[in-house]
A and B are shown apart, each in its own frame.
Chain A
Amino acid sequence: MGKLALTSLAVAVLVLTGCSQKSPEVDMTKSSGDTKGAAVNDGMSALQKLIASLEANSKKIYFDFDKYNIRKDQQANIDANAALFNSAEAKSFSIKVEGNCDEFGTDEYNYALGLKRAKSVKDGLVAKGMVADRITVVSYGESNPACSEHNKDCWAQNRRAEFKVLP
């Protein structure tokens, strides 16, 4: 049935554009080997519980509108995170810093802004003694809102960096 649909589409495109095409869908989750987020449940291993605990105890870093510098009021959270990730129980893990933005802008600039926020946090952690090679950064732009309402408090919650602990 699927082959029939694909063949039909290919013929249709040929009629309209003179270009033979077929267009099967791709489900990226089937071929990616993505790992699921760590949720606390009884089936978790000790390692998974430790990772979940470290992530839960890390402190999100918030940013001003359209900025990627670390605010003075966020420096204490950087310090706390550096201490947490440098602790004996966490020292063997890598840390991924995820940069996020508010909903304004859907373009590359927003993704780059999220990346610069993650990079600022990484630099802050390194300044507090973390080894740079342990830290990776990634930007999710506006794609990963912590809050989906449309008000200033919500937008402020979305301008953030948060942490994933990787074994």
Chain B
Amino acid sequence: MLKKMIVWLCTALFVFAADATVEVVKKIDVLPKVAVQDASAKTIDSELRRSFYKLIANDLRVSSHFNVLDEYLQSSYEGGPLENFLADKKVDMIVRFNIVQDTANLAVNVKLINARTGSTTFEKAYNLSDKKRYPFLAHRVVIDVNDQTGSPSIAWMEQSVIFAKYTDAKKSEIVISDYTLNYQKVMVSGGLNVFPKWANKEQSAFFYTSYSGAEPMVYKFDLRSGSRSSIISSPGMIVCSDVSQDGNKLLLTMAPKDQPDIYLYDLRTKKIQKITEYSGIDVNGNFIDNDTRIAFVSDRLGNPDIFAQGLNDKSFEKLVYHGKNKNSISTYDNYIVYSSREADSEFGRNTFNLYLISTKTDYLRQLTATGENLYPRFAKDPDTIMFIKQFGNQSALGIIRLSANKTYQFALKTGKLQSLDW
């Protein structure tokens, strides 16, 4: 048997078919095979048990660190010789969960069992006071299990996603969800509310643009106090594109003189500084190089492209020489992920693909191959990227696991995704 094989990885969860990343992988490491067992009592809601099983199994798959047995298994929590080894399944590990309470609160006990020895290597009790948030609890379980195996961290699974979705003409909602969209809570509704952006790493507040007043306005919503405060408005448009690492400065796209440019706004002093100067379109400013420079999108050379300039320096440089129509970027240290319009046609559906580049080297990697792939955003770690996949009036949230070269999609049941952050 060939030790090395070339594969074109196409993986999908739930509804949609795969969207393969284009990079060719030389070999697949042998991943530990893991089974998930439901040890909950029959009195526990069967739908909850099944859903929890699916979340655990899918999280393990999305981690790309495990080969997950695709079979819903039931067992006792203590286990016996058969349940602790599953010899016929040839698994290496067993994740066993026991939902012990399913009223308003949720309590789940979890074991990780070495299926070769039958011994328990990890055990923990989890409690959650709002059952609706159980997807986050499932993600926490898998993060802990993953850590026990010594695999690279998948703490990004716990990040809350915030997104805007169109519900009708000039109407949209801002929603907080988990990365699988199984948990969703509408935070802002009524009118047009777009471009939500987390205000800090703790995800305790977010900025968003509302069209409810005379001019588009950026608001800040504090989740701790439940209070909303207005930050700044502009004629034409205003978007909070990025937040500095210390949370004190914003990069805004705004148009006080009807002209979209990028501005730096200091939340403490309320001082505003114009960064870019061009009569066309400058948008989507992102801090790079330790918040000393910005990368942004501009049509200053004819088509939308990616440029960089210092915060106090009007000279600019083109960052990407591949492709000709790039319209959305996200940065992480020296890396930039962007969407590029490939099929430039007004007569058919357009193709947008995602690419990853380094600002320090010639590194370039195509991340998607088909369809409309938009609005890429890095996770806490640069190994995971979230993006919007559009299908006409429908959307899915996409996750790219770079090191594993895999893409997963999670369908939005109603509405159309406008933008996201996590």
Using CB atoms and an 8 Å cutoff, list the residues of chain A in contact with chain B: 6, 8-9, 11-13, 15-17, 19-34, 64-66, 103-116, 118-119, 122, 136-141, 143-145, 148, 150, 152, 155-156
Using CB atoms and an 8 Å cutoff, list the residues of chain B in contact with chain A: 104, 127-130, 132-133, 136-137, 140, 158, 166, 169-172, 176, 185-195, 202-204, 210-213, 215-216, 221, 223-226, 228, 235-237, 239, 241, 253, 255, 258-260, 280-284, 297, 304, 327-328, 339, 341, 344-350, 352, 372, 374-375, 388, 390, 392-393, 417-419
Partner of A66, one of B185, B194, B344: B344
- Give the residue among A6, A8, A19, A65 with the most B Cβ atoms within 10 A: A8
Contact A116 B170, beta carbon cutoff 8 Å: no
C-alpha gap A21/B206 in the complex (Å): 12
C-alpha gap A12/B392 in the complex (Å): 36
Contact B253 A6, beta carbon cutoff 8 Å: no
Cβ contacts A to B, 14 pairs, < 8 Å = A12-B129, A13-B223, A15-B128, A16-B128, A16-B140, A29-B190, A31-B212, A32-B212, A66-B344, A108-B241, A119-B259, A141-B194, A148-B393, A150-B392
Top-10 shortest CB links A-B: A32-B212, A65-B346, A12-B130, A29-B190, A11-B129, A108-B283, A107-B328, A21-B223, A28-B212, A112-B260
Given A11-B129, A108-B253, the answer on whether A144 and B169 have CB atoms closer than 8 Å is: yes
Residues of B within 8 A of A24 (CB): 226
Contact A8 B236, beta carbon cutoff 8 Å: no
Partner of B188, one of A26, A64, A113, A119: A26
How distant is B246 from chain A, measured CB to nearest CB, in Å?
18
12 new A-B contacts, CB < 8 A, other than A9-B130, A106-B417, A109-B297, are A22-B223, A105-B327, A107-B339, A109-B281, A111-B237, A137-B236, A137-B255, A138-B215, A139-B237, A143-B192, A144-B169, A150-B393
Contact A23 B190, beta carbon cutoff 8 Å: no
C-alpha gap A19/B239 in the complex (Å): 27
C-alpha gap A8/B128 in the complex (Å): 9
Closest B residue, CB atoms, query A32: B212
Contact A107 B419, beta carbon cutoff 8 Å: yes
C-alpha gap A25/B189 in the complex (Å): 8
Contact B189 A107, beta carbon cutoff 8 Å: no
C-alpha gap A25/B202 in the complex (Å): 20
Contact B204 A109, beta carbon cutoff 8 Å: no
Residues of B within 8 A of A21 (CB): 204, 223-224
Residues of B within 8 A of A136 (CB): 235
- Give the residue among A24, A107, A136, A152 with the most B Cβ atoms within 10 A: A107
Residues of B within 8 A of A17 (CB): 158, 202-203
Contact B328 A108, beta carbon cutoff 8 Å: yes
How distant is A38 from chain B, measured CB to nearest CB, in Å?
15
How distant is B172 from chain A, measured CB to nearest CB, in Å?
7
Residues of A within 8 A of B137 (CB): 16
Contact A6 B226, beta carbon cutoff 8 Å: yes
Closest A residue, CB atoms, query B159: A17
Given A20-B224, A26-B228, A107-B284, the answer on whether A144 and B170 have CB atoms closer than 8 Å is: yes
C-alpha gap A29/B388 in the complex (Å): 27
Closest B residue, CB atoms, query A156: B346
C-alpha gap A24/B224 in the complex (Å): 10
Contact B158 A112, beta carbon cutoff 8 Å: no
Residues of A within 8 A of B375 (CB): 106-107
How distant is A14 from chain B, measured CB to nearest CB, in Å?
8
Contact A140 B297, beta carbon cutoff 8 Å: no
Given A106-B388, A108-B283, A109-B297, the answer on whether A27 and B190 have CB atoms closer than 8 Å is: yes
Given A31-B212, A32-B213, the answer on whether A137 and B235 have CB atoms closer than 8 Å is: yes
Partner of B237, one of A26, A64, A112: A112
